[in-house]
Amino acid sequence: MNGATAIATIVATLVGPIVAVAITLWYQSRDQSYQRRLSVFRSLMQWRANWLNPEWVGALNMIPVEFSGRPEILSALTMLLDKLGDRGFAEGGDQLTAAYARAETAFIELVQKLARDLKIDLNGFDPRGRVYAPTGWANEQAAIQSLRAETSAIFRGERSLKIEVTKGRL
């Protein structure tokens, strides 16, 4: 073995593992970043029929963190947040329907941009179309809201709590 070959062998022996570890760490970091962004996308899709779900809200709030440096996505998020802040949601009736339609359109645009960024082919899938949400969820939410309203009225002194005392019954 001549001197040049010996030096090349020593350098390869020392540098090779270092480069391999660096490449592995780079790949793992990149994969972890992708997995976090994918988790945000999955939460948005999973709960797209229930915008009041804390996981859906949390996923929206993580977009600036996980998709920083992606102005197209951040712009779509800003548009959606503006639509979700629409006064029509508080008004009810036709204003609520119109506000929801505007927010839904902005949500679909955001989802499409997220999918494109993550290289997910939605293949013409419309996130509005096929979604399962049990009617029991809506009924439960309505019951909880009614209970909160009634309880608040009692505590504010606007309503009284009816108590009946009956003889012989516990």
pLDDT (tens digit per residue) in 35-85: 899 999 999 998 888 888 899 999 999 999 999 999 999 999 999 999 998
Residue 170 domain flag: no
Is the domain of 29 the same as that of 92?
yes
Is the domain of 34 the same as that of 64?
yes
Cβ distance 140 to 133 under 8 Å? no
In whole angstroms, give the CA distance from residue 163 to residue 112. 55
DSSP letter assigned to residue 139: H
Give the DSSP H/E element, type plus range, for residue 129.
none
Q: What is the largest CA-CA distance in the chain?
A: 109
First-last CA distance in the chain: 100
149, amino acid identity: A
pTM for the predicted model, two decimal places: 0.68
**pLDDT of res. 32:** 81
At 87 the three-state DSSP class reads: coil
Is the domain of 42 the same as that of 84?
yes
Work out the percent of the chain whose per-residue pLDDT is above 70.
Answer: 88
**Residue from 98, 111, 103, 108 nearest 128 by CA:** 108
Is the domain of 95 the same as that of 148?
no
Is the domain of 88 the same as that of 149?
no
Is the domain of 143 the same as that of 107?
no
Report the range of poorest mean pLDDT among 17-31, 76-90, 130-144, 145-159.
Answer: 17-31
Sign of CA dihedral 131, 134, 137, 138: positive
Question: Domain containing 155: what range?
Answer: 136-160
Residue 61 domain flag: yes
**Residue from 60, 67, 100, 66 nearest 81 by CA:** 60
Q: What is the per-residue pLDDT across 1-27, written as a single tens digit (0 to 9) for each?
A: 687 787 877 777 776 777 666 677 666
